[in-house]
Structure 1
Amino acid sequence: MDKKNKINDVKKYSKIGIDLGTANLLVYVDGEGIIFNEPSVIALEYSTNEVIAVGTNAARMIGRGHHGIKIVSPLNQGVISDMIAAKKLIEIAIKKAENTDINLSASTVLICCPSEVTQIERDSMVDLAKNLGVPDVFIEEEVKAGGIGAGLDVYSSNGSMVIDIGGGSTDIGVLSLGDIVVSESLRIAGNYFDNEIINYMQYKHGLLIGKRTAERIKEEIGSLRKVVDPSKNSYANGRDVVSGLPRKIQVTQEEVRDILLEPFESIVNSILKVLQKTPAELSADIIVNGMFVNGGGALIDGVDEYIKDKIGLEVHIAKNPLTAIVEGTKVLLQNRGNYFVKPVD
């Protein structure tokens, strides 16, 4: 084998980090950075199962398709619900890398998952990677990757607390010496908030709205602050449950806040459970360092104020809440199996 071919063979090996989220799929490739950051949605032709669109383009089709197209979200509450669709989605995402010579059959893949998934659910993620032809795959918890990606030194003996409010689940963990000491996971997160908005609109206003509309309302005027802006409103377009005709209504920020308070109360209760199980020395560190919030839920206005008011500790929003997990995979891929030594930059 000549020198040129040897160089090409080296290029084919890659370290790949995957944040396989319910709401978004992010893929990191060593040497190239984040190559894919789009919704975890894929549109397939119903009869042939051929891919029509993935990511953002597929998400635009939600609620607008016809009988010839099926639009699939391969994950439900952080767990793979459609193995075939998940495999196709990841294959297409990885192909977007500039290095088209990536050879999955000679690569290492890290997949991040919620802390409390069962062994069967973890095995299904490993099976997914094996079906892609990956020989070397390992699983890490999202809360650990998110803490690293947020810039926390989880490899020190100093305790850190991370709250990751994603699309399908909320993960809460205390990290020290390179791993999770105490954790809690609950299936209340972004998608749950959207469904609560949908239910409220139906029963309070007699209006049927879609998931995308609920998500837009949450992003535009979602708030947890004690005092909301009375002039800050949004709108909801949908179908009247009585007449069946299209109707548009105004939605106030106060209404959305009241919808979000109950699920966030459940999240706070889970945070309290973790704190009650945390060793005393690490509790002392958390008092000094505060808590760090990742995930799409971190972008809801006033989430830090709400948690601080309920818990009594400082709360910090990560600088990169949407990409912290996949950015943390860079360190985990370099430092696999080593809890104490920081990886080389």
Structure 2
Amino acid sequence: MASKKLGIGIDLGTTNLLVYVEGNGIIFNEPSVVAFDVETKDVIAGGTDAFSMIGKEHKKIKVSRPLRDGVISDMDAAKAMLKYVFERVQNIRDFHNATCLICCPSEVTQIEREAMRDLAIQMGIKDVFIEEEIKAGAIGAGIDIYSPSAAMVIDIGGGTTDVGVLSLGDVVLSHSIRVAGNYIDQEIIKYVHKHHNLIIGQKSAERAKIKVATLLEDEEEERVARIAGRDLVTGLPRTVNVTSQEIKTILQPIFQDITNVAYTVLEQTPPELAADIVDNGIIVDGGGALIPGVKEYFESMLSLPVRITENPLTAVVQGTKVLLRNKGSYIAQHKD
């Protein structure tokens, strides 16, 4: 009798890598970063340890982000990162008898999907399939996507924002925009450069975003983030204070772009499914869902009820549990 295949679910995010293994739960939830020894090509660190090296490396160490805008930009680094993750779980040794699900943004090309599939095959996993992040994220948010009632999801990740409508176990329509968490960081860098004459790194921008980002109209108290960088004029280290109001001015046009994508999806949604969305509202997940005021912003702009999922950062990888069980098949799930 053949042994049961081991299920592995991977949320291969631009910012964070999450890996779920049946029987072990989520075994990895850390930044998608890997550090190499330049001479030996050996992996020095991965995840959080490698992330702490960004911007501080020297000529003997190379720190790499294997993904950019939701797709693999460095296959060798991506393979090394996954190998690093799996080596940390001692009881996972035989990848040949495993089923691997990799989640990707909704509008990646077939070539990009094949690159993701090749990544798992190079790890020794033969049975690999790809699913869209919004599908897994909806399941992870507690939505029964296999029912005839439609659900709409806005997934604001690190590299991409995906907006889609799901019904009867699959994505009816979706759109993706490469405006998300990393894009916000870059806009903060540009703003600080222009308005404060200070050059800062992405990690500093991300910390400011996490600390003071908001879309709330009536904030009780303006918050301040202290950012350190290099003075554009003197070339010396300097700090500035950036307020939540300043970050809000950066966020508003970005979230307007995301809202425009949501408009497009709603305009293309069939009438019966649109009626369901009026009743069921919109689910928001991904790291961007953690910004205060996101719920109120989308409700104001779209005139629909909005719910932030309870687990925005892990919804996608948690949703892989169900998809692994039936390999994404509507019929297999519907018969359960």
SS in 2 for 1:342: helix
Q: Is the 8 A contact 2:187 2:250 kept in 1?
A: yes
Shift of 1:53: 0.6
| Equivalent residue, structure 2, for 1:105 | 96
| Equivalent residue, structure 1, for 2:256 | 265
CA 1:337–1:318: 2 relative to 1, 3 Å: closer
CA distance in structure 2 between the aligned counterparts of 1:296 and 1:343, rounded to whole angstroms: 31
CA 1:131–1:96: 2 relative to 1, 3 Å: same
Shift of 1:344: 9.3
2:140 to 121, 144, 149: 149
| Equivalent residue, structure 2, for 1:14 | 6
- Residue 284 (structure 2) pairs with residue 293 (structure 1): yes
Shift of 1:338: 2.0
2:54 to 54, 62, 71: 62
- Residue 181 (structure 2) pairs with residue 205 (structure 1): no
Gaps of 5+ in 2: none
Q: Is the 8 A contact 1:22 1:40 kept in 2?
A: yes
Stretches of 4+ aligned residues off by more than 6 angstroms: none
| Equivalent residue, structure 1, for 2:73 | 81
CA distance in structure 2 between the aligned counterparts of 1:231 and 1:178, rounded to whole angstroms: 44
Q: Is the 8 A contact 2:137 2:317 kept in 1?
A: yes
State the identity as a percent: 54
CA distance in structure 2 between the aligned counterparts of 1:164 and 1:306, rounded to whole angstroms: 15
Shift of 1:302: 0.5
| Equivalent residue, structure 2, for 1:27 | 19
Aligned alpha-carbon RMSD (Å): 1.5
Gaps of 5+ in 1: 1-5
Where do residues 1-345 of structure 1 align in structure 2 (5 Å cutoff)? 10=3, 13-97=5-89, 99-100=91-92, 102-342=93-333
SS in 1 for 2:62: strand
CA distance in structure 2 between the aligned counterparts of 1:344 and 1:42, rounded to whole angstroms: 42
Shift of 1:32: 1.2
CA 1:337–1:248: 2 relative to 1, 3 Å: closer
Deviates more, 1:224-233 or 1:144-153: 224-233
Q: Is the 8 A contact 1:209 1:238 kept in 2?
A: yes
CA distance in structure 1 between the aligned counterparts of 2:79 and 2:96, rounded to whole angstroms: 14
Shift of 1:54: 0.2
Q: Kindly provide the CA deviation profile for residues 217-271 of structure 1, in whole angstroms up to 9, marking residues without a partner as x.
A: 0000000111234431111100001100011111111000001111111000000
CA distance in structure 2 between the aligned counterparts of 1:225 and 1:169, rounded to whole angstroms: 23
Deviates more, 1:40-49 or 1:226-235: 226-235
Shift of 1:99: 2.2
CA 1:159–1:229: 2 relative to 1, 3 Å: same
CA distance in structure 1 between the aligned counterparts of 2:98 and 2:56, rounded to whole angstroms: 38
Q: Is the 8 A contact 2:9 2:100 kept in 1?
A: yes
TM-score (norm 1): 0.94
CA distance in structure 1 between the aligned counterparts of 2:222 and 2:300, rounded to whole angstroms: 25
Corresponding letter in the other structure for 2:112: E
SS in 1 for 2:44: strand
SS in 1 for 2:330: coil
TM-score (norm 2): 0.97
Corresponding letter in the other structure for 1:249: V
Q: Is the 8 A contact 1:234 1:251 kept in 2?
A: yes
